Amino acid sequence: MDYIVLVIVVLLYLGATVYLGWLGYKHTRSASDYYTAGGEVNPFLMAMGYGAAFISTSAIVGFGGAAAVYGMSLLWLTVFNIFFGVFIAFVWIGRRTRAMGRELSAQTFPELLGSRYNSVFIRKFSAVVIACAMPLYAAAVMIGGARFMELALNVNYTFALLLVAVIVGAYVLAGGMKGVLYTSAFQGTLMLLVMFFLLIFTYRVLGGVTQAHTSLAALKHLVPEGLLLDGHQGWTAMPATFSRSWWYVISTLVLGVGIGVLAQPQLAVRYMTVRSNKELYRALVPGGVFILLMTGVGFTVGALSNVYFYENLGKIALLASVNPVTNTPNTDTIIPLFITSALPVWVGYVFMLTLLSAAMSTLSGQFHSIATSVSYDLYQPKGGSPQAGLKLARYGTILGLVVTVVLSYILPVSIIAIATAIFFGLCAAGFLPVYVFGLFWKRVTTIGAAMGMVAGTLVYLFSMLFMYGRMTTIFGLSSLIFGQTSIVTFPYNVIDPIVYALPVSFVVTVIVSLATQSSLDTSHVEKCFAFMRKKKAALLTLEK
């Protein structure tokens, strides 16, 4: 390890990050600046901030490790991420979110939902879900960054974890949304460059594109027996339809994350940071390219790492990740192991900074959402000054940071991908129907939205705790109460909770809304959709 080069690179990176965080602090003078950056962000900054908050170490390390196990089938998640997470999100969801958010003067995602339905309950319930569940996702991201730092620098995991937490907490506390966006744009650009280089270098190490994929296909006979029984058909093929592996890849990784992205609170607020719809449309290309390179490269390299480990260690990636002390595999270490062993040392340092960027950019958005949920949506004293509001927001950030660090210590190995899927799926079940109907359907009622939100959340939580085997083993409540890992058998114990919860949430919202039309506050609904009634001249004035 060349400590001099490492120190220089890290200091340059941290110097740039601290400077951008300071700029955010300097330009943060009001609650609006802290929550939505004043609504005057340019499209590239918004796209990089959105992408960097969306794609993190959970995608590169966690899902890259999952791709090392399940192969190229995870590229379907890249397709879903681009189509739903960028195209649908920016063109339809983002446009109306920005317009309605300004019409209602909403600063946060829970406030947007609460104002849309004129409901304190919906706002508070949304904030509680975010504040309680997001630390799990944040912990997954933090674990990814700390694990790579642990292997790349040969430092104690605890030290690496605390270092990541301190750096992220510092600039989120200082800069609010502006600090988050400034640093995210820098980190996102660095991530793009390094991921492109990683793809080129990986193919070079493995003898070229054709040779690498041919070699990967030839490893089919090395699939472990347990994975074969679960439906694994090699790293270049989809798992057998409706097998255990197929349900995990499709329902949990592809649908859970690919659909769940539409209802991510820390991403939805990004739509409200741009000055016009044109900025959203202009952000489509950089946003799509970002997602393509980050997830596409991460999943491809993860699958191809099997070739490298077999040619150099005589074993596939999953077996190469086995901890010699516990004798158990840890998929969260596969990508860090590949980077630190297959690439030159200096590349490992740069990639470490890339993963640190991914972790920090996502964590900053997560802590920002936790902070605003706690300090702005759950508790905000009436008549408080803007300075008091900022102070509360920073206390909320500290609370989220502490909870996340604690979770990072107690969560089991190979947790990154599944923890990410839990949060994305929970947001989809609880928020997506209410969010989408609130933007597009005038006839949805407050009680319909509230009941749909609660029903989707409860069904998801029940399935997560008592039915879906991958999750029930983490929480252990089903075993404690019923004496068995899952209360159902195959195939229901391998189907992700989102498959049950999301349809229930949609159906309950629609049925209850149609049954309670007489309670619909038409004057409030018309106010929410006022942006749709404005004439073209008024819209052009707003755009300016």
The more confident residue out of 156 and 396 is 156
User: Can you give the pLDDT at residue 157?
Assistant: 83
Beta bridge partners of 322: 329
Confidence of residue 188 (pLDDT cuts 50, 70, 90): confident
CB of 136 closer than 8 Å to CB of 419: yes
The average pLDDT across 213-225 equals 95
pLDDT at 36 over 50: no
Q: What tokens were used for 140? A: 């997954």
Confidence of residue 105 (pLDDT cuts 50, 70, 90): confident
Residue with tokens 């008024």: 538
At 195, which helix (H) or strand (E)?
Answer: helix 157-205
Domain locations along the chain: 3-543
**Cα angle 425-330-55, degrees, rounded to a multiple of 5:** 40
Half-sphere exposure of 38 (CA within 13 A, CB side): 12
Residue with tokens 């600039």: 171
Q: Which of 36-45, 302-311, 528-537 has the highest mean pLDDT?
A: 302-311
**Cα angle 65-213-421, degrees, rounded to a multiple of 5:** 25
**CATH class of the domain comprising 3-543:** mainly alpha
User: Can you give the pLDDT at residue 59?
Assistant: 79
The average pLDDT across 107-119 equals 90
Confidence of residue 30 (pLDDT cuts 50, 70, 90): very low
pLDDT at 33 over 50: no
Q: What tokens were used for 349? A: 């340092």
Candidate from 18-22, 92-96, 159-163, 294-298 with smallest mean pLDDT: 18-22
Confidence of residue 282 (pLDDT cuts 50, 70, 90): confident
The average pLDDT across 254-268 equals 87
What b/e sequence results for 445-469 when a residue is b if at least 16 CB atoms lie within 10 Å of its CB, and e otherwise? bbbbbbbbbbbbbebbbebbbbbbb
Strands (E), 348-440: none
Within 8 A by CB and 6+ apart from 500, the residues are 459, 460, 463
pLDDT at 275 over 80: no
pLDDT in tens, 323-368: 888 888 999 889 989 988 888 777 777 777 777 777 776 777 777 7
The average pLDDT across 212-233 equals 95
- What is each CA distance from 410 to 136, 158, 339, 407, in whole angstroms? 11, 12, 26, 5
**In this structure, how many other beta carbons lie within 10 angstroms of the beta carbon of residue 219?**
18
User: Can you give the pLDDT at residue 293?
Assistant: 86
User: Can you give the pLDDT at residue 113?
Assistant: 93
Q: What tokens were used for 283? A: 């952000």
pLDDT in tens, 456-470: 999 999 999 999 999
pLDDT at 471 over 90: yes
Confidence of residue 228 (pLDDT cuts 50, 70, 90): very high
Write down the H helix ranges in 256-385.
257-260, 265-271, 277-282, 284-291, 297-313, 317-320, 334-342, 345-372
Write down the H helix ranges in 104-156.
109-116, 120-153
User: Can you give the pLDDT at residue 34?
Assistant: 45
Residue with tokens 């009001």: 30
User: Can you give the pLDDT at residue 533?
Assistant: 63
Q: Which of 54-58, 437-441, 457-461 has the highest mean pLDDT?
A: 457-461
pLDDT at 389 over 90: no
pLDDT at 496 over 80: yes
Q: For the chain, give the mean pLDDT.
A: 82
Confidence of residue 539 (pLDDT cuts 50, 70, 90): very low
User: Can you give the pLDDT at residue 150?
Assistant: 81
pLDDT at 21 over 70: no
